[in-house]
Chain A
Amino acid sequence: MAAQLLAACGGGSAGSGGRATLNFYSFPDNSGAVQQAVDTCTKNSGGRYVIKYNKLPNAADGQRQQLVRRLAARDTSLDILGLDVTWEAEFAEAGWIREWTGDNKTSASDGTLKVPLETATWKGKLYAVPYNSNTQLLWYRSDLVPNPPKTWNEMIDMSVALAKQGKPHLIEIQGAQYEGAVVWFNTLLASAGGSVLNADATSVTLGQPAVDALTVMKRLATSPAADPSLSVQMEDANRLAMESGTAAFEINYPFVYPSMKMNQPQLFKSFKWTLYPRVKADEPSHVTIGGIDLAISEYSPHPGLAFEAALCLRNRENQKVAAIKGGLPPTIADLYDDPSLQENYPFRKDIRTSLENASVRPKTPAYQNLSIVIGHTVSPPRGINPTSSEKSMRGQLKDALASKGLIP
């Protein structure tokens, strides 16, 4: 509609000889990859616009607060926004981001992995273009574990056996009361064949797959495999524990690989990876993905240029740089076959497989509410009672979906 007209006109004020400034708000990247993309795209604009990289706080919650506050105030100094993959439904429903249509939509979708694209879609419309993705793998010590486990129960059994032998045996996973625990639960739930919400996000499903998922979490938390700090651990604490040598398994994002290489060259020699463990032996795991999508603010004074700039920021070249410099998994499918990624990304085939089977977190504008409810139910994991937790979660999620009442 209006977006297409503006795209055709090239966006208003830019035409009169002055260069438009496009404000790009995104997570703070200290690898230099984002700044490099910004500089390249500015250069390639042919003098029509300058992209300015504005950093948001490090923590995702802080980023969301800043963006929400300014979008709700209809701030016109925001153009391109780097959104976490769980915010699109919320922002779209509130009317804060523009829909991608026509050529822009085609350029955004071509060659992009299916599941990341799904995170940018709401009610059948595309609201953002995937920039990078992220998914977890199972990292393990090959000196302790010659054959990696295929399922969670196998992994826990192996850990118990190692514990009996007095060897390092912990399974490192994020159990603190925050988004990471929600990702863990959602992954297990999807891998057990279920989901939190039904297809059009109008009601809560859960059911037996949720009970299965909760059973796995409870089993881990009450076994010798659990790290004593499990219920306050986040990704970095897991990394540190693995590097300190007390753990045999770790479920984490690929950032642990270069870190282990740098910090513990000895341990690194037996540091291997495989796909995320399954819940059901005959069903591949469906890891819940993370990542960043780029959206255009509804109040941007230069939407046409902004769409173009966003497409440039996430193009093939820039995603390759982000993968190599910043360790961020790309969302363009054929980059995974690119040999230049071999040295820094030896696990890229497993990441691609994970991404192709991946699951997403429930898509609804009320996602934050759901996340808090789930987080409070599954953390601390040792407090889970599979059947009653599933029931109470279902009731609370129903209220959360309707944005009714308080959240804890």
Chain B
Amino acid sequence: MSLNTQAVAAGEVQTETQAPRRQLSEGARADRRLGWMLCAPAVIVMIAVTAYPIVYAVILSLQRYDLRFPGQAKFIGLGNYAAVLSSPYWWQALKITLIITVISVIFEFVLGMLLALLMHRTIFGRGTVRTSILVPYGIVTVVAAFSWQYAWTPSTGYLAAVFGNGAPLTHTFQALAIIILAEVWKTTPFMALLLLAGLALVPEDLQKAGQVDGATAWQRFTRITLPLMKPAILVALLFRTLDAFRIFDNIFVLTSGGQNTGSVSILGYDNLFTALNLGIGSAISILIFICVAIIAFLFIKGFGAAAPGTQVKR
């Protein structure tokens, strides 16, 4: 980098290149203490609130426990998991969930990137564009879903008329398309916001240097901008995919899970809250968690060095 960095590095703080020393220096010890102190409040809050519930949920998933017959609760090990994994309902719901997740995240990423570019580069009306893009994200999800349902119902809504009054919500594929549309409309702003933030951190002079060197706009985008945006892209894609996999509100309002459009979250909700089968419901939740963890693992492995916490930059 610049001269200043090297001068600085030689001074107080230990850099990675000097790490091999066995004994920790004063600076490293101070770093550790400071690091723990700064993290402590967040860690304490998170553990205090979620430790018991998570452990409780795991224990429940290992029991046969129907809330209506509390006296009959008993430990059955992995019995619930076997029941869930051998049930066609689970696999159907998983299939639907994967379809919705993959398609909506792809759309949201592409559209989000386009919107981020627009918000960053547009030469006038920035305030208006940015605010109107963020508004869909700020509307309460169930209300937005409700308004979509009304819009697509024949003789009540303005969109149903566009498609020939065929009641699209009553057919599986059309209903899925509408659900995906509702998801994409609602949460693309989330992606766009995070990608915009990443975009804004790409130094202008690198872009100019690329231009001077004769690179086209597309080359500049893929070779300069995208790589520098990797951390922001990781956060955006990761969190968005985790949330998309657990989709609930939109499906619940639009079709109540009917016409084979139920997701794994709806399955979990039905078994936990409606059937009051705490054992099976908790097992479904844990399985959802495992699926989501696998997805997260794949993302972080794929993005490697861009993951937060790896390689402290100096």
**8 Å CB interface, B49-88 against A:** 66-70, 83-84, 87
Contacts of B134 in A (CB 8 A): none
A379 contacts B87, CB within 8 Å?
A: no
Chain B residue at minimal CB-CB distance from A228: B167
CA of A246 to CA of B83, assembled, Å = 47
A93 within 8 A of B: yes
CA of A379 to CA of B169, assembled, Å = 13
Known: A61-B274, A380-B259. A406 touches B83 (CB 8 A): yes
B289 within 8 A of A: no
Cβ of A299 to closest chain B Cβ, rounded Å: 14
Cβ of A297 to closest chain B Cβ, rounded Å: 16
CA of A406 to CA of B90, assembled, Å = 8
CA of A365 to CA of B276, assembled, Å = 11
B270 contacts A408, CB within 8 Å?
A: yes
B170 contacts A380, CB within 8 Å?
A: yes
Interface string of B250-263 (1 = CB under 8 A from A): 00000111110010
CA of A384 to CA of B198, assembled, Å = 52
Cβ of A237 to closest chain B Cβ, rounded Å: 7
Task: Please pick, from B67, B255, B257, B259, the residue contacting A72 in the complex, using a CB distance under 8 A.
Answer: B67
CA of A379 to CA of B255, assembled, Å = 11
A90 within 8 A of B: yes
B262 contacts A94, CB within 8 Å?
A: no
CA of A237 to CA of B273, assembled, Å = 26
CA of A51 to CA of B83, assembled, Å = 46
Contacts of B153 in A (CB 8 A): 229, 232, 237
Cβ of B232 to closest chain A Cβ, rounded Å: 38
CA of A68 to CA of B277, assembled, Å = 12
Cβ of A62 to closest chain B Cβ, rounded Å: 10
A246 contacts B258, CB within 8 Å?
A: no
Contacts of B156 in A (CB 8 A): 237, 240
Interface string of B261-281 (1 = CB under 8 A from A): 010000100110111110010
Cβ of A65 to closest chain B Cβ, rounded Å: 5
Contacts of A90 in B (CB 8 A): 68
Known: A379-B258, A406-B90. A229 touches B154 (CB 8 A): yes
A405 contacts B83, CB within 8 Å?
A: yes
B69 contacts A94, CB within 8 Å?
A: yes
B166 within 8 A of A: yes
**8 Å CB interface, A215-262 against B:** 228-232, 237, 240-241, 244, 246
Specify the main secondary structure of chain B where it touches its partner.
loop
Known: A237-B153, A406-B271, A407-B275. A228 touches B87 (CB 8 A): no
B165 within 8 A of A: yes
Known: A232-B170, A237-B153. A176 touches B267 (CB 8 A): no
Contacts of A65 in B (CB 8 A): 273
Task: Please pick, from A176, A178, A244, A407, the residue contacting B271 in the complex, using a CB distance under 8 A.
Answer: A407
A177 within 8 A of B: yes
Interface string of A47-67 (1 = CB under 8 A from B): 000000000000001000100
Contacts of B167 in A (CB 8 A): 228-229, 232
Contacts of B275 in A (CB 8 A): 366, 368-369, 372, 403, 407
Contacts of A229 in B (CB 8 A): 153-154, 167, 169-170
B89 within 8 A of A: yes
B219 within 8 A of A: no
* B interface residues, tally (CB under 8 Å): 35
A406 contacts B170, CB within 8 Å?
A: no
Cβ of B285 to closest chain A Cβ, rounded Å: 13
Chain A residue at minimal CB-CB distance from B165: A228
Contacts of A61 in B (CB 8 A): 273-274
CA of A94 to CA of B255, assembled, Å = 31
Cβ of A15 to closest chain B Cβ, rounded Å: 33
B147 within 8 A of A: no
Contacts of B155 in A (CB 8 A): 240-241, 244, 246
A406 contacts B69, CB within 8 Å?
A: no
A372 contacts B270, CB within 8 Å?
A: yes
Contacts of A380 in B (CB 8 A): 170, 258-259
Chain A residue at minimal CB-CB distance from B160: A229
CA of A406 to CA of B272, assembled, Å = 10
Contacts of A241 in B (CB 8 A): 155
Contacts of A228 in B (CB 8 A): 154, 165-167, 170
Interface string of A379-408 (1 = CB under 8 A from B): 110000000000000000000000101111
Residue of A94, A237, A241, A246 with highest tally of chain B CB at under 10 A? A94
Contacts of A408 in B (CB 8 A): 89, 262, 267, 270
Chain B residue at minimal CB-CB distance from A375: B258
Residue of A230, A372, A403 with highest tally of chain B CB at under 10 A? A403
CA of A178 to CA of B273, assembled, Å = 15
Cβ of B90 to closest chain A Cβ, rounded Å: 7
B280 contacts A406, CB within 8 Å?
A: yes
A68 contacts B67, CB within 8 Å?
A: yes
A406 contacts B84, CB within 8 Å?
A: yes
Contacts of A237 in B (CB 8 A): 153, 156
CA of A68 to CA of B258, assembled, Å = 25
Known: A94-B70, A228-B167. A372 touches B258 (CB 8 A): no
Cβ of A312 to closest chain B Cβ, rounded Å: 30
CA of A202 to CA of B257, assembled, Å = 29
Cβ of A243 to closest chain B Cβ, rounded Å: 11
Task: Please pick, from A94, A176, A177, A240, the residue contacting B68 in the complex, using a CB distance under 8 A.
Answer: A94
A176 contacts B270, CB within 8 Å?
A: no
Cβ of A197 to closest chain B Cβ, rounded Å: 16
Task: Please pick, from A72, A230, A246, A365, the residue contacting B170 in the complex, using a CB distance under 8 A.
Answer: A230
Task: Please pick, from B66, B267, B273, the residue contacting A403 in the complex, using a CB distance under 8 A.
Answer: B66
CA of A231 to CA of B154, assembled, Å = 13
Chain B interface (Cβ < 8 Å from any Cβ of A): 66-70, 83-84, 87, 89-90, 153-156, 165-167, 169-170, 255-259, 262, 267, 270-271, 273-277, 280, 284
Instruction: Enumerate 24 A-B pairs (CB-CB under 8 Å) in ascending A order.
Output: A68-B67, A72-B67, A72-B70, A90-B68, A94-B68, A177-B255, A177-B259, A228-B154, A228-B165, A228-B166, A228-B170, A229-B154, A229-B167, A232-B169, A241-B155, A379-B258, A403-B68, A403-B69, A406-B267, A406-B280, A407-B270, A407-B275, A408-B89, A408-B267
- Since A240-B155, A408-B267 are in contact, a sample of 17 more A-B pairs with Cβ atoms closer than 8 Å, ordered by chain A residue number, is A65-B273, A72-B70, A90-B68, A93-B68, A94-B70, A177-B256, A178-B256, A228-B154, A228-B167, A229-B154, A230-B170, A241-B155, A246-B155, A407-B89, A407-B271, A407-B277, A408-B89
Cβ-closest 7 pairs across A and B: A177-B258, A228-B167, A229-B167, A231-B170, A94-B68, A406-B87, A408-B89
